[in-house]
Each structure stands twice: as C-alpha cells, then as structure tokens.
Structure 1
Amino acid sequence: MKFKFENLIIWQKAMDLGEELHKITSKFPKTELYNLTSQTRRAVDSIALNISEGSIGQTNPEFKRFMGYAIRSLAEVITCLHKADRRNYMTKVEFKKYYNQSYELMNMMVAFKNKIN
C-alpha cells in the first residue's frame, strides 16, 4: 500500500464497516432512502474519509481534529443502528454484530487519537 493511512487498522476496519452497512441499508424500506439509509451511509463513510484526510495533514493537531470528526461520525452510526433496530429494519443478530464492531472500532479510534501528540 502506498499511502500510510491504508496501513492503519482503524482505517481498514472503518472501510469494512462501511461496506457491510452499505449492504444492510439496501434492505431498509424505500421510504427511508433519503432519510435513515442515506444518513447511515454518509456517516459510516465519513469515518474512513476523515481518518485518511487527517493523516495527510501537516500537523498532529490537525490529524487529532480529523480523528475527532471520525469518532463523532461513528457515534452517529451507532445512533442510526439503534434507529434501524427500533424500526425492525435489521435482525437483533445483525444489530448486535454491527454494534459490537462499532464499539470495538470506537475504542481503537479513541486510543489512537489519544496517542497522537
């Protein structure tokens, strides 16, 4: 891989989560296309996008700021998961799987952000 961020486990996991949630949201009702489906996809894509964008920055404070954006996007994804669960757009097993992946990623991202000087 040619870009440093591609080697970051948090970026790789964010990419994986993004692709998985893109697939699952395609099963949401058509009435949610411009609402929860779109919001979930934009939020989950924003995680990896902010990690990569921040890593290219010239300063560590800039990278730390973009990591904050990525963490906030992940929090938004978790809320979208809860909304999808409450509306029965996914099974309890699917919810638990994506919730646990998100929880693991959140912990990794916070730890990574805290290590940036």
Structure 2
Amino acid sequence: MTERKKVDEYGFRFREWDVYTDSRLFRNKINEILKSYPKSEIYALTDQTKRALNSIVLNIAESTNKSTDKDMRLYINRAHCSLDEVVSCLDCALDDGYISEVQHSEFLEEARSLAKRLRKFTGYLSSPASKSSSLS
C-alpha cells in the first residue's frame, strides 16, 4: 500500500478527509436532537443512536492505518453499516413522534450524501488507482 495523504498538524490523516469532518458534523446535529428525546429512551433509542453515530466516525478514523486496502475497506464498510443503523434509528424516532418529518428528511438527505461518499471511497479502495496514487 502506498502513502495515501498528508497528515494534519497532529499527524492524523483522517482528520483531513471531508467524509470524516462531515460525519462529525452529522453526529453533532443528531446528538443535539437526541437531547429532546424522552428520558424513557435514554437507555434505548437515544443510546443506540449515539453508539451508531460514534461508530461512523470511529470506523473512518480506524481505517486510516490499516496495512492493506482490503482491511481499510472493511472499516469504511463498517462506518457505512453504522450509518444505515442511524437511518433506521431516525425512522424509529419519526414513528415514535420524537422528530418531525422535516427533521427526518433533512437528516436522511445528509445521510444519503455520506453514504454516497462512503461507497465512492470503498470503490476507490477496490480500484487499481488506489495502489498507485495518494488518497484525497
């Protein structure tokens, strides 16, 4: 595997990736909404949503220093699976009346954008180009 990308000032290259920074923003927006969920959901839907949100960001970060593109793809795929879980949690929140249709639609649009980029990233890691060029 070739060197992929410059690193940020602290030495963590994933912090330079738009998909990582946008995943953090997505996480923060939904975490704000979770504060309005009923207390009865603290150990149920709220907790499950938080864990799935964290998993997106953490798996993107963890993918960074894997020794092969195949291993890196595994972690990006896990991030994508966690994004799917967040979407399902948002569907449940809509069904239970914790978020509005407008909020739901806005979050799903952001999730769709992240999913598209995660798929593209996985595709890139599967391509011959990933072996010969740096990751952007």
More helix by share: 1
Per-residue deviation, residues 5-25 of structure 1 (Å, max 9, x unmatched): 011111111111111111111
Q: Secondary structure at 2:58's aligned position in 1?
A: helix
Instruction: Show the counterpart of 1:21.
Output: 30
Q: Is 2:67 the partner of 1:58?
A: yes
CA distance in 2, matches of 1:61, 1:8: 19
CA distance in 2, matches of 1:6, 1:34: 30
CA distance in 2, matches of 1:62, 1:49: 15
Per-residue deviation, residues 16-57 of structure 1 (Å, max 9, x unmatched): 111111111111010000000000010011001000001121
Instruction: Show the counterpart of 2:112.
Output: 103
Q: Secondary structure at 1:64's aligned position in 2?
A: helix
When normalised by structure 1's length, the TM-score is 0.96
Runs of 4 or more, structure 1, over 4 Å off, are none
CA distance in 2, matches of 1:70, 1:77: 11
Tell me which amino acid in the other structure corresponds to 1:116. Answer: L
CA offset at residue 58 of structure 1? 1.5
Aligned equivalent of 2:94, options 54, 61, 85: 85
Q: Secondary structure at 2:67's aligned position in 1?
A: coil
Q: How many residues align?
A: 117
When normalised by structure 2's length, the TM-score is 0.83
Instruction: Show the counterpart of 1:115.
Output: 124
Instruction: Show the counterpart of 2:47.
Output: 38
CA offset at residue 68 of structure 1? 0.9
CA distance in 2, matches of 1:42, 1:107: 21
Return the structure number with greater relative CO, CA threshold 8 A, min gap 6: 2
The percent identity for this pair of structures is 27
Report the RMSD for the aligned CA atoms in angstroms: 0.8
Query: Where does the alignment leave 5 or more consecutive residues of structure 2 unmatched?
Result: 1-7, 127-136
Query: Where does the alignment leave 5 or more consecutive residues of structure 1 unmatched?
Result: none
